[in-house]
Amino acid sequence: MKFDKICILGLGYIGLPTASVFATHGLKVVGVDVNPRVIEILQAGEIHIHEPGLGQAVRQAVESGNLSVASVPEAADAFLIAVPTPFHDDKRADMRAVTSAAEAIVPHLRPGNLVVLESTSPPRTTVDLLVPILERSGLKAGADFHVAYSPERVLPGQILRELIENARVIGGITPQSAQAGRDLYATFVKGEIIQTDATTAEMVKLMENTYRDINIAIANEFSRLADRFGVDIWEAISLANRHPRVKILNPGPGVGGHCISVDPWFLVEAAPDLAKLIRQARQVNDSQPHFVVDLVRETLGDLRGKRIAALGLAFKPDVDDLRESPAAEIVHMLQKEGAAVKAFEPFKPEGLPGIEAAPTLEDALAGADLVLLMVSHTQFRALTPAQLAALTSCRLLVDTVGAWSGPAWAAAGFDLRKLGVRKQI
């Protein structure tokens, strides 16, 4: 198939980079978002998310005349749905954004069109939810128009490169739909493009993130066992990983973000009688912030009135994405115990509602009784004992990510406690 114009619904962490890449490769792209603030920012030539190189890519796409933004869809050759799929309080998938996006496409759907769902979704979403909505147009999916599912598989901080270089899975409701999807993504994808059916493609994405979640869960559980037995988990993992067939991940304060902390629940929802290991891993990782708070309490004692400098709120290093962040949950838990927490997130200085945000590292450290490291941002990892000592008189440190180690910290007068280490470093 040949595509001249595409319409992308959702201009977030995936939709906006995807729109810019298609546009810089010669397609006319209309980017749609329901948030007026997002449209306003993009129309002013700025971007609303942090991603290396994205600002330049968007400006280049806009200046070429190939990328425009709007609040409602327009007629196009292909429609891509890249809206959020969070979960409800009971961990069921919230598919309202996907439903709304599909409904918005219906008035513009024409014979020969392609509709691609990119949003991470529970198995059978494409065939059981998306297709029936699109067929309200009076057209028959698979006969009059094509429908496919193609999950994003990119790493924040490297999205633009990985969109182009990574392998792309295209799952069609028919082989012809999969081929149409392949034709579209071949516009810019240099990696292998693999065609399959829609439900398999949905399952692939969920399996990838669930695999990661389970491996993180065992690392977090190992950290709790090490604490119980008086072992340094960081040393133990380093030694275990010398085995040629072992690669244990590092523990941390929990699992966040819009993928690994969310996607496994879609499998649990779809098959609760079968997804028992998946549920247990999610429960382990969801409970990890409690162990961080326990460590802070052991270090400081009664937390009422204590001042804590929290370093990092993002769900992972060197990104501005705070969605489902365990660091934010830890801050709220400390606040409930009466601590006064001031957080510094260098990639999103405004922080989150309900959390006092420090504009600078120095401001966060001022008057602190304890420094709590929760995200291994390069800026924090690079801090030396001498540098930190010059910024604060506080000498109590809790490191939840294994960023600070070595005798220099004790030599500088710091009492450094680490997650998964009962003995003092």
Structure-token pair, residue 163: 């969109």
Give the model confidence (pLDDT) of 221-246 as tens digits.
999 999 999 999 999 999 999 999 99
| pLDDT tens-digit series, residues 397-415 | 999 999 998 889 999 999 9
Show Cβ contacts of residue 392 under 8 Å, excluding neighbours closer than 6 positions: 309, 365, 366, 368, 371
Q: What is the pLDDT of residue 227?
A: 92
pTM for the full predicted model? 0.88
Task: Judge contact between 241 and 248, C-beta under 8 A.
Answer: yes
Strand ordering across the sheet containing 5-9:
67-70, 28-32, 5-9, 78-81, 114-117, 146-149, 168-172, 193-197
Is pLDDT above 80 for 424?
no
C-alpha neighbours within 13 Å on the C-beta side of residue 37: 3
Residue 45 pLDDT more than 90?
Answer: no
pLDDT band for position 423 (50/70/90)?
Answer: low
Pair 251, 420: CB distance under 8 Å:
yes
Q: Where in the chain is the domain with CATH 3.40.50.720?
A: 5-191, 211-418
Q: What is the pLDDT, as a whole number, of residue 425?
A: 44
Q: What pLDDT sits at residue 83?
A: 96
Q: Is the pLDDT of residue 175 over 80?
A: yes
CATH topology of domain 5-191: Rossmann fold (3.40.50)
pLDDT tens track for 185-222: 999 999 999 999 999 999 999 999 999 999 999 999 99
Catalytic residues: 205, 259
pLDDT, position 155: 82
* The domain made up of 211-418 is a member of CATH 3.40.50.720: yes
- pLDDT tens readout for residues 107-155: 999 999 999 999 999 999 999 999 999 999 999 999 999 999 999 888 8
Q: What pLDDT score was predicted for residue 14?
A: 93
Tell me, what amino acid is at 175? P
Q: What is the mean pLDDT of the chain?
A: 95
